[in-house]
Structure 1
Amino acid sequence: MKVRADIATLIRDGHTDESIAHRLGCNRATVARARQALRLPPADQLGRLYAEALPTGRVLSDKPTRAQTSPAQAAVNRQALLAALREPRKPMVEAA
Protein backbone atom coordinates (compact mmCIF):
# COMPACT_ATOMS: atom_id res chain seq x y z
CA MET A 1 0.00 0.00 0.00
CA LYS A 2 1.38 3.41 -1.01
CA VAL A 3 0.06 5.48 1.86
CA ARG A 4 2.07 8.63 1.16
CA ALA A 5 1.10 8.61 -2.53
CA ASP A 6 -2.56 8.11 -1.60
CA ILE A 7 -2.31 10.89 0.98
CA ALA A 8 -0.75 13.23 -1.59
CA THR A 9 -3.54 12.52 -4.07
CA LEU A 10 -6.27 13.16 -1.50
CA ILE A 11 -4.54 16.32 -0.25
CA ARG A 12 -4.41 17.70 -3.77
CA ASP A 13 -8.10 16.84 -4.16
CA GLY A 14 -8.78 19.18 -1.22
CA HIS A 15 -9.61 16.69 1.55
CA THR A 16 -8.92 17.55 5.17
CA ASP A 17 -6.45 15.60 7.28
CA GLU A 18 -9.30 14.01 9.24
CA SER A 19 -11.06 12.93 6.06
CA ILE A 20 -7.89 11.41 4.62
CA ALA A 21 -7.08 9.57 7.85
CA HIS A 22 -10.60 8.14 7.96
CA ARG A 23 -10.53 7.05 4.30
CA LEU A 24 -7.12 5.40 4.51
CA GLY A 25 -7.47 4.03 8.03
CA CYS A 26 -4.37 5.76 9.36
CA ASN A 27 -3.67 8.29 12.08
CA ARG A 28 -4.26 12.00 11.45
CA ALA A 29 -0.68 12.68 12.58
CA THR A 30 0.54 10.46 9.73
CA VAL A 31 -1.38 12.61 7.28
CA ALA A 32 -0.03 15.80 8.86
CA ARG A 33 3.56 14.52 8.63
CA ALA A 34 3.05 13.58 4.98
CA ARG A 35 1.61 17.04 4.31
CA GLN A 36 4.67 18.65 5.90
CA ALA A 37 7.05 16.36 3.99
CA LEU A 38 5.32 17.28 0.73
CA ARG A 39 5.45 20.97 1.74
CA LEU A 40 1.73 21.44 1.11
CA PRO A 41 -0.32 24.06 2.97
CA PRO A 42 -3.01 23.11 5.51
CA ALA A 43 -6.22 21.71 4.06
CA ASP A 44 -8.34 24.81 4.61
CA GLN A 45 -5.88 27.00 2.71
CA LEU A 46 -5.40 24.45 -0.06
CA GLY A 47 -9.15 23.91 -0.43
CA ARG A 48 -9.76 27.63 -0.64
CA LEU A 49 -7.06 28.02 -3.26
CA TYR A 50 -8.57 25.30 -5.43
CA ALA A 51 -12.21 26.16 -4.83
CA GLU A 52 -12.08 29.95 -4.94
CA ALA A 53 -9.27 30.71 -7.36
CA LEU A 54 -10.17 33.41 -9.81
CA PRO A 55 -8.77 33.69 -13.33
CA THR A 56 -6.73 36.65 -12.06
CA GLY A 57 -4.98 34.40 -9.57
CA ARG A 58 -6.53 36.17 -6.58
CA VAL A 59 -8.45 34.29 -3.91
CA LEU A 60 -11.89 35.40 -2.78
CA SER A 61 -12.20 36.73 0.73
CA ASP A 62 -13.22 34.25 3.41
CA LYS A 63 -15.17 36.94 5.26
CA PRO A 64 -18.94 36.47 5.15
CA THR A 65 -20.78 38.99 3.06
CA ARG A 66 -24.06 40.61 4.02
CA ALA A 67 -26.57 42.17 1.72
CA GLN A 68 -27.06 45.86 2.38
CA THR A 69 -30.37 46.76 4.00
CA SER A 70 -32.31 49.52 2.30
CA PRO A 71 -33.16 52.60 4.39
CA ALA A 72 -36.86 51.69 4.22
CA GLN A 73 -36.21 48.14 5.46
CA ALA A 74 -33.91 49.44 8.21
CA ALA A 75 -36.72 51.73 9.42
CA VAL A 76 -39.21 48.83 9.44
CA ASN A 77 -36.74 46.66 11.35
CA ARG A 78 -36.10 49.44 13.86
CA GLN A 79 -39.84 49.96 14.44
CA ALA A 80 -40.42 46.22 14.92
CA LEU A 81 -37.57 46.04 17.43
CA LEU A 82 -38.85 49.04 19.39
CA ALA A 83 -42.37 47.58 19.45
CA ALA A 84 -41.03 44.26 20.73
CA LEU A 85 -39.04 46.04 23.44
CA ARG A 86 -42.10 48.01 24.59
CA GLU A 87 -44.24 44.90 25.11
CA PRO A 88 -44.32 43.59 28.68
CA ARG A 89 -42.44 40.37 29.17
CA LYS A 90 -44.54 37.27 29.58
CA PRO A 91 -43.51 34.80 32.27
CA MET A 92 -42.00 31.66 30.82
CA VAL A 93 -43.55 29.37 33.43
CA GLU A 94 -46.89 30.04 35.04
CA ALA A 95 -46.97 30.02 38.82
CA ALA A 96 -48.78 26.99 40.22
Structure 2
Amino acid sequence: MKVRADIAALIYDGRSNASIACQLGCNRDTVNRVRQALRLPGTPLERLYAETIPTGQVREYRPKRMPTAPAQAKANQAALLAALRERPQKAA
Protein backbone atom coordinates (compact mmCIF):
# COMPACT_ATOMS: atom_id res chain seq x y z
CA MET A 1 0.00 0.00 0.00
CA LYS A 2 1.27 3.44 -0.88
CA VAL A 3 1.12 5.69 2.17
CA ARG A 4 -0.02 9.26 1.68
CA ALA A 5 2.57 11.59 3.16
CA ASP A 6 0.04 14.15 4.39
CA ILE A 7 -1.91 11.52 6.32
CA ALA A 8 1.28 10.02 7.75
CA ALA A 9 2.50 13.45 8.89
CA LEU A 10 -0.77 14.15 10.73
CA ILE A 11 -0.73 10.68 12.28
CA TYR A 12 2.78 11.29 13.60
CA ASP A 13 1.55 14.63 14.99
CA GLY A 14 -0.86 12.63 17.17
CA ARG A 15 -4.12 13.51 15.44
CA SER A 16 -7.12 11.21 15.54
CA ASN A 17 -8.47 9.43 12.47
CA ALA A 18 -11.61 11.58 12.48
CA SER A 19 -9.74 14.89 12.64
CA ILE A 20 -7.35 13.83 9.86
CA ALA A 21 -10.24 12.71 7.65
CA CYS A 22 -12.10 15.97 8.28
CA GLN A 23 -9.05 18.13 7.61
CA LEU A 24 -8.01 16.34 4.41
CA GLY A 25 -11.49 15.51 3.14
CA CYS A 26 -10.90 11.77 2.93
CA ASN A 27 -12.60 8.78 4.50
CA ARG A 28 -11.75 7.64 8.04
CA ASP A 29 -11.18 4.14 6.67
CA THR A 30 -8.41 5.51 4.44
CA VAL A 31 -6.73 7.08 7.47
CA ASN A 32 -7.17 3.85 9.42
CA ARG A 33 -5.57 1.79 6.63
CA VAL A 34 -2.59 4.17 6.54
CA ARG A 35 -2.28 3.93 10.33
CA GLN A 36 -2.32 0.13 10.10
CA ALA A 37 0.25 0.18 7.27
CA LEU A 38 2.52 2.26 9.50
CA ARG A 39 1.79 -0.18 12.35
CA LEU A 40 0.63 2.57 14.69
CA PRO A 41 -2.20 2.30 17.24
CA GLY A 42 -5.51 3.89 16.30
CA THR A 43 -7.74 4.95 19.16
CA PRO A 44 -6.52 7.08 22.07
CA LEU A 45 -6.87 4.03 24.33
CA GLU A 46 -4.75 1.93 21.96
CA ARG A 47 -2.15 4.71 21.89
CA LEU A 48 -2.10 4.75 25.70
CA TYR A 49 -1.62 0.98 25.82
CA ALA A 50 1.14 1.20 23.22
CA GLU A 51 3.00 3.80 25.29
CA THR A 52 2.92 1.81 28.50
CA ILE A 53 6.07 0.08 29.57
CA PRO A 54 6.30 -3.11 31.66
CA THR A 55 6.49 -1.18 34.94
CA GLY A 56 3.00 0.17 34.33
CA GLN A 57 4.21 3.73 33.82
CA VAL A 58 3.54 5.75 30.71
CA ARG A 59 6.49 7.21 28.82
CA GLU A 60 6.98 10.95 29.03
CA TYR A 61 4.79 11.18 32.16
CA ARG A 62 6.24 13.41 34.81
CA PRO A 63 3.96 14.23 37.73
CA LYS A 64 4.33 17.63 39.39
CA ARG A 65 5.46 15.95 42.58
CA MET A 66 7.25 12.62 42.53
CA PRO A 67 5.94 10.07 45.04
CA THR A 68 7.99 9.54 48.17
CA ALA A 69 9.98 6.31 48.34
CA PRO A 70 8.91 3.90 51.12
CA ALA A 71 12.24 4.25 52.93
CA GLN A 72 12.03 8.05 52.80
CA ALA A 73 8.42 7.98 54.03
CA LYS A 74 9.46 5.84 57.01
CA ALA A 75 12.35 8.21 57.82
CA ASN A 76 9.99 11.21 57.58
CA GLN A 77 7.51 9.53 59.93
CA ALA A 78 10.25 8.71 62.45
CA ALA A 79 11.52 12.31 62.39
CA LEU A 80 8.01 13.65 62.90
CA LEU A 81 7.32 11.32 65.84
CA ALA A 82 10.65 12.26 67.43
CA ALA A 83 9.86 15.97 67.07
CA LEU A 84 6.41 15.47 68.61
CA ARG A 85 7.86 13.56 71.57
CA GLU A 86 10.43 16.31 72.27
CA ARG A 87 7.85 19.10 72.18
CA PRO A 88 6.81 20.19 75.68
CA GLN A 89 3.19 19.49 76.58
CA LYS A 90 0.96 22.42 77.53
CA ALA A 91 -0.99 22.16 80.78
CA ALA A 92 -4.73 21.89 80.25
TM-score range, shorter chain: 0.3 to 0.5
TM-score by length of structure 1 reads: 0.45
TM-score by length of structure 2 reads: 0.47
